[in-house]
Amino acid sequence: GWNQVVVRLQNNGGKAAKGEVEVASTRYGEQRVFVASAPYTVAPGASIHVRVPVQVSPFADVQVRALDEGGAQVSSHALSSTSQRAVVLFDVSEASLVRGGLHEAPVAPLYLPSGRGPGSSPSPVLWVGQPRYDGATGDPLLPDRAALYSAADAVLMRTDTLSRLNGAELEALAGYVLSGGTLALAVARPEDLRHPTLAAFVGGEVARAGVAPPTLEEIVPPGAPSGFGKQGNALLPAPTASPAVAEALSGWSGGNLRGSPYGSSAFYGLGEVHLLAFDPTRPPASGDPWAKIRVADLARRAYDRRSTVAFRPGEEAMGLDLDPVRRELDPNESSRWAIGVSALLLCLYAVLAGPINFSRAARQGRPLRALRHLPVYAAVTFAVIVGVGLLAKGVRGRARHLTLIEAGAGITKGAVRRFRGFFVPRAEELTVRTTDASGVISTAVLAELAERRDRLLVERDGARLTQVAALPWQTVIVREDGVAPLGDGIAIIAEPSGDVVVSNRSGRDLRGGVLWLPAGVARYFARIRDGEKVSSRAGVDLGARSDGQSWLSHVSFGRRVGGIDIHDLGGGLLVPLLEPDAPGLGAAWLAIEEAAGSAVDWFPAGVPVLFGQLDGGEGRASDSGLRLESDRVLVRIVGYGGRP
């Protein structure tokens, strides 16, 4: 998946140095090459850090090179990647005590998908990673794009560090959490509880409270399986905390916080924020078995929650079927009528140039005259067939978009996966820019015979993919991950009467909306206008329709993936439901479902889910110089939340 390479450059010369840092990732045994580069300028005697986002495949060789202004290599370094997957905790500490006590400790995730992610399933161990730190400022060098957190299941941070974050780093962390990530916070200072950043994450100002009962309940640690983990990091049973830790335990209240096994927790978008009842980054909790069990279990829970997000930004899933997405974005799929017309024209030509032509010449007593007419008939038929082909395919390039935005109820931003298709009448190399500075971009489907070589140039205002090979009358598809706005959000509120109310403040009408309720029933809304508020009681009961019953029975019957139940979207069964009000929407959902894979829980237990199409797309008229002829934006809203 996507990751970040941080390079420190020291200029010991007497004049400013310019150039670029280049990171190339090549997967063993394949021709695919991904090259990302970012410019640098270093003053004399100064040092800087250059961050380069890069897409890394399993078993890839990663070459990092610093080049001068003339392209000559200044230095190089080799890295490598593997396909082993573990539960990953990203500890934002300069000297991590958590790593010493928990790295390669056994964990027992319930979510064990096959084929999703680089490995078939995670190893039953916990990996603890750390960021690099800026020696001049003492601040961590964190990712500046949400997708670059894709390898981390949970991020552990002290609140004083969170309070210092700003700009792209804070936006990236917030994007990571609202896209389904988990943020664990150890309270460092009382004044941090009033900081606006913390209040934004948990929904209000925080105050100290008593320890919640769930925090004191015992968590039984998993046993260490043979062949995995370090013997010294095995988690020992600890029904209670040590006296020193127990005395310092604290609960928290305010905003959306509720008691949890780890302290107090709140949902933020599709993710979770945990205010810990203890500080695992400092003694005595860093060495306490009871505290270590909770940190490991928090990371395990964070990994299991991957099942609830269809497209986590930056995550690279292997072996998925993108052909339905290609069919949605390929104009060739809508021009197949030209084949039938051309075949009919050839049949007419055969009849006209053959029996009719020669019979007519024979009746006139000049049988050889038919040969003089053949070139004329052939030329006319050829010209008409070429004209039909041009009419079907067009003479100008064009683009199509298929986008899914996933967000928590009431949240103004969501995780976005854009599939951007480009169709050109002649061979050319395209330059495709990210929609905004927070996105990452790579090719997903190439034209036939095109070499898979991505080149990403990182700039201050975003990134651009260059030299994208587009061949005549073929479609190339680019994938973009990031965070997208949703106006003022789409709220889902539970009423005391038992009804569920949906308030659409996205700035666009919602068409073909299906509201799944925790009781296992669903309501259909042909349209929810922008600014409109609707009750579940007003929707069409899908259980009362024959086609709705087929879809409900399919999605209600969960499948077991490891130790959890997941529920399919049933995109194929949505076609007859949605086609009358939103032509093509059912096929679009089917394409998205196939692209996400078979290990997604589209309807998590205990919460409502609303999905539909936002009219008007994202409001763009062109993409990379090509006319945008189709811009379909799908949305999936999960959970309760937002203003009534």
Please check whether residue 253 is in contact with residue 259, taking contact to mean a CB–CB distance below 8 angstroms: no
Whether residue 328 is contained in a domain is answered as no
pTM: 0.90
Residue 302 has pLDDT above 50, yes or no: yes
> DSSP E strands: which ranges in 366-520?
398-408, 413-424, 428-433, 440-445, 453-459, 462-470, 474-485, 490-494, 500-504, 510-516
Whether residue 295 is found in the same domain as residue 152: yes
Please check whether residue 473 is in contact with residue 401, taking contact to mean a CB–CB distance below 8 angstroms: no
Whether residue 78 is found in the same domain as residue 92: no
Question: What's residue 230's pLDDT?
Answer: 45
Query: Of 259, 274, 308, which residue sits at a domain end?
Result: 308
Give the DSSP letter of residue 334: G
Q: What is the domain range of residue 294?
A: 83-308
Q: Could you tell me the CATH number of the domain that includes residue 62?
A: 2.60.40.10
Residue 561 has pLDDT above 80, yes or no: yes
8's enclosing H/E stretch is strand 2-10
Question: What's residue 465's pLDDT?
Answer: 94
Q: Which one-letter amino acid corresponds to residue 21? A: V
Query: Of 290, 308, 326, which residue sits at a domain end?
Result: 308
Task: Provide CB contacts within 8 A for 154, sequence distance 6+.
Answer: 88, 89, 90, 181, 182, 183, 184, 298, 299, 302
- Kindly write down the DSSP assignment for every residue of 259-308, as one continuous string: EETTEEEEEETTEEEEEESS-TTSTTGGG-HHHHHHHHHHHHHHHHGGGG
Whether residue 315 is contained in a domain is answered as no
Please check whether residue 474 is in contact with residue 447, taking contact to mean a CB–CB distance below 8 angstroms: yes
Whether residue 539 is contained in a domain is answered as yes
Whether residue 128 is contained in a domain is answered as yes
Cβ-based burial of 314 (10 A; exposed 0-12, middle 13-18, buried ≥19)? buried
Whether residue 102 is found in the same domain as residue 164: yes
Instruction: Tell me how far apart the alpha carbons of residues 135 and 602 are, in angstroms, rounded to a whole number.
Output: 44
Residue 123 has pLDDT above 80, yes or no: no
Residue 30 has pLDDT above 90, yes or no: no
Phi-psi region at 641: left, alpha or beta (left = phi > 0; alpha = psi -120 to 50): left
Whether residue 90 is found in the same domain as residue 137: yes
Whether residue 242 is found in the same domain as residue 136: yes
Whether residue 447 is contained in a domain is answered as no
Give the DSSP letter of residue 577: H
pLDDT tens digits for 330-360?
Answer: 887 665 656 777 788 778 878 777 787 777 7
More confident residue, 155 or 30: 155
Whether residue 69 is found in the same domain as residue 24: yes
Q: Could you tell me the CATH number of the domain that includes residue 179?
A: 3.40.50
Of 413, 364, 517, 521, the closest CA to residue 173 belongs to: 413
Please report, in angstroms and rounded to a whole number, the separation of the first and last CA atoms in the chain: 38
Whether residue 149 is found in the same domain as residue 244: yes
Whether residue 16 is found in the same domain as residue 90: no
Give me 444's structure tokens: 């997903």
Whether residue 603 is found in the same domain as residue 580: yes
Residue 119 has pLDDT above 50, yes or no: no
170's enclosing H/E stretch is helix 167-178
Strand partners, 527: 511
Express as a percent the part of the chain with pLDDT over 90.
71
86: pLDDT confidence band, cut at 50, 70 and 90? Answer: confident
Whether residue 123 is found in the same domain as residue 23: no
Residue 229 has pLDDT above 60, yes or no: no
pLDDT tens digits for 488-525?
Answer: 999 999 999 999 999 999 999 999 999 999 999 999 99
Question: What's residue 246's pLDDT?
Answer: 96
Mean pLDDT of the chain: 90
Give me 372's structure tokens: 């003089």
Q: What is the mean pLDDT of residues 179-192?
A: 97
Q: Which one-letter amino acid corresponds to residue 213? A: P
- CB neighbours of residue 496 within 10 Å: 5
How many structural domains does the chain have?
A: 3
Of 25, 10, 13, the closest CA to residue 454 belongs to: 25
Whether residue 333 is contained in a domain is answered as no
Q: How far is CA 169 from CA 139, 140, 147, 407, 592, in A?
A: 11, 10, 12, 20, 30
User: 102-106, 360-364, 533-537: lowest mean pLDDT where?
Assistant: 360-364
Strand partners, 75: 66
User: 277-291, 313-327, 627-641: lowest mean pLDDT where?
Assistant: 313-327
Task: Provide CB contacts within 8 A for 633, sequence distance 6+.
Answer: 401, 403, 405, 508, 613, 614, 616, 617, 618
3-state secondary structure (DSSP) of residue 524: strand
pLDDT tens digits for 433-476?
Answer: 999 998 999 998 887 656 678 899 999 888 999 988 888 888 99
Instruction: Tell me how far apart the alpha carbons of residues 211 and 112 are, in angstroms, rounded to a whole number.
Output: 33
Q: What is the mean pLDDT of residues 109-127?
A: 70
Task: Provide CB contacts within 8 A for 347, sequence distance 6+.
Answer: none
Whether residue 122 is found in the same domain as residue 19: no
Locate tokens 């997604």: which residue?
Answer: 600
Residue length of the chain: 644
What φ, ψ does residue 610 adopt, rounded to 5°? -115, 130
Give me 479's structure tokens: 């994938």
Residue 113 has pLDDT above 80, yes or no: yes
Whether residue 505 is found in the same domain as residue 596: yes
